[in-house]
Amino acid sequence: MSSPEPIDEVNERETVVTTAKRPRAHVLMRLSGLVLLVAVAWFGWVYWNIRSVAERDDATPADAIAVFGAAEYAGRPSPVLHARLDKAVLLYREQIAPVIITLGGGSDKDSGLTEGGVGRDYLLANGVPFTKIIAETYSIDTEQQVQRLAAIAREEHLQHIVVVSDGTHLFRIAELCRRSGLDVYTSPRARVGNIDNLDAAQRMMHEVLSYTALRLNLHISWMHRWLEGKND
Domain ranges of the chain: 1-55, 64-229
Task: Of 11-25, 118-132, 181-195, give the lowest mean pLDDT range.
Answer: 11-25
Q: What is the mean pLDDT of residues 46-62?
A: 95
Which carries the bigger pLDDT value, residue 14 or residue 65? 65
Q: Work out the mean pLDDT of the chain and round it to a whole number.
A: 85
Is it the case that residue 196 has pLDDT exceeding 80?
no
Around Cβ 161, how many Cβ atoms within 10 Å? 23
Q: What per-residue confidence (pLDDT) applies to 4?
A: 55
Q: Compute the residue count for the chain.
A: 232
64-229 folds as Rossmann fold (3.40.50)
Residue type, 214: L
Alpha-helix runs per DSSP H in 55-140: 79-93, 115-125
**136 near 116, Cβ under 8 Å?**
yes
CA distance 11 to 92: 82
Task: Identify the DSSP state of 105.
Answer: -
HSE at residue 28, side-chain half, CA atoms within 13 A, is 5
